[in-house]
Amino acid sequence: MNSIKKTNEFVFQTYLRQGKEFVRGEGATLIDEEGTCYTDFLAGVAVCNLGHCHPAITLAIEKQAKTLVHVSNLFYTAPQADLAATLVEKSFADRVFFSNSGAEANEAAIKLARRYFQLKGNKNRYKIITMEQSFHGRTMATLSATGQDKIKEGFYPLLEGFSHVPFNDIEALKEALDETVCAVMMEPIQGEGGVVPADRAYLAKVRALCDETSTLLIFDEIQTGMGRCGTLFAHELYGITPDIMSLAKALANGIPIGAMLATKEAAKGFDLGSHGSTFGGTPLATAAALEVVKIISDKDFLESVNEKGAYFRQKLIELKEKHDRIIDVRGKGLLLGMEIDNNSKDNGKDKDAGFFVANCFKKGFIINGIQDKILRFAPPLIIEKAEIDRLVAVLDSLF
């Protein structure tokens, strides 16, 4: 029995998988069991920002695996200490909490925001406002925080204390923000929501509103962070900082890790024994992440991301000018989305996002579809312009 049959028989069927087994990866290329190569424009859903099996990351993992993999957070380790210090140095934050995943980093952010006010004696300030079409994870708390009804089906009742307002609508936020709210939680650019960036003026007003009401501002940078948008963190594009930020996905280029960062003031919400994680910040994961941060935060590297992102965006805009079924092109850096009119047909079949994903895959390219009408592109940040050109040519042929 091969891996595909074993997976279909023994693994929960919660994913719609392509009918291929990948056995090897190098750079922006994945290779299946038959030796066929695919150019990856998804990077494991914005995870492998440095591509597959990056030599420096592989070396860091190998070196650490030979010395120490896990000891628990009852003891000190150098890789965790060094990574925390580096993240603080390169961000607005003063403290870091390590977890295993993005959902857990967001859980930590939610708990921190609530407990911050609880410890101050403001027990009625526990509500968190998030955005419609947001995505913050699959745990019960992060599911409750997520502003998409479709992924909540079957899991009711959800946790209390979460409300959702339209993205980029400051008046709606003002109306919802009362004395019971402890935090506003949002993605600077909505990923699963359709690759929708926050307006610059809107985000500045959100920061000002939070300051005026002493409300904590949480940025979910799980998908947008780690160079994805052309800066180390996407909020740098807007010239403002949050009080709390969550990271994961690309932080260790495929090794599971999450991080919740906070200012010194916000960090007062956690004290001894208030939160924990068995596998959070293991020597193995933090050693890999430390190398990732070193590479991605390099000025020249980030400039190359901006250059390639602008190039890719322009090529997609040129496609839009050529094909009237393309409604919009949006995003920042190398997180780009192309919205299409999904009402057209091809041989009697809907020409929706799934059509383009499947046909790109047949031609050796991995892309992603959202909401049946949006094509999401999140390639490794090391993608080459020639690879972008080849994908654009395939997309052109499918309209």
> What is the C-alpha separation between 321 and 23, in angstroms, rounded?
39
Residues 6+ apart with CB under 8 A from 380: 27, 28, 40, 43, 48, 49, 50, 51, 52
Is there a shared CATH topology between the 3-54+299-398 domain and the 68-296 domain? Answer: no
Q: Which of 40, 41, 219, 249 does the annotation list as catalytic? A: 249
Residue 137 has pLDDT above 90, yes or no: yes
Q: For the ranges 2-6, 50-54, 83-87, 95-99, which has the lowest average pLDDT?
A: 2-6
Please answer whether residues 223 and 187 qualify as being in contact, where contact means their C-beta atoms are separated by less than 8 angstroms: yes
> What is the C-alpha separation between 108 and 101, in angstroms, rounded?
11
Whether residue 220 lies in the annotated active site:
yes
Please answer whether residues 255 and 284 qualify as being in contact, where contact means their C-beta atoms are separated by less than 8 angstroms: yes
> What is the C-alpha separation between 123 and 112, in angstroms, rounded?
13
Is it true that domain 68-296 has CATH number 3.10.100.10?
no
Identify which has the larger pLDDT, 5 or 343: 5
Q: Which of 135, 219, 233, 356 does the annotation list as catalytic? A: 135
Q: What are the structural domain ranges in the chain?
A: 3-54+299-398, 68-296
> What is the C-alpha separation between 38 and 7, in angstroms, rounded?
21
Whether residue 249 lies in the annotated active site:
yes
> In CATH, what number does 3-54+299-398 get?
3.90.1150.10
Residues 6+ apart with CB under 8 A from 235: 188, 203, 219, 221, 241, 242, 245
Residue 346 has pLDDT above 70, yes or no: no
Please answer whether residues 377 and 334 qualify as being in contact, where contact means their C-beta atoms are separated by less than 8 angstroms: yes
Number of neighbouring beta carbons within 10 Å of residue 295 = 17
Whether residue 363 lies in the annotated active site:
no
Burial class of 18 by CB neighbour count within 10 A (0 to 12, 13 to 18, 19+): middle
Percentage of the chain surpassing pLDDT 70? 98
Residue 345 has pLDDT above 90, yes or no: no
Q: Calculate mean pLDDT across residues 160-164.
A: 97
> What is the C-alpha separation between 352 and 358, in angstroms, rounded?
10
Residues 6+ apart with CB under 8 A from 354: 369, 372
Q: Which of 92, 167, 220, 355 does the annotation list as catalytic? A: 220
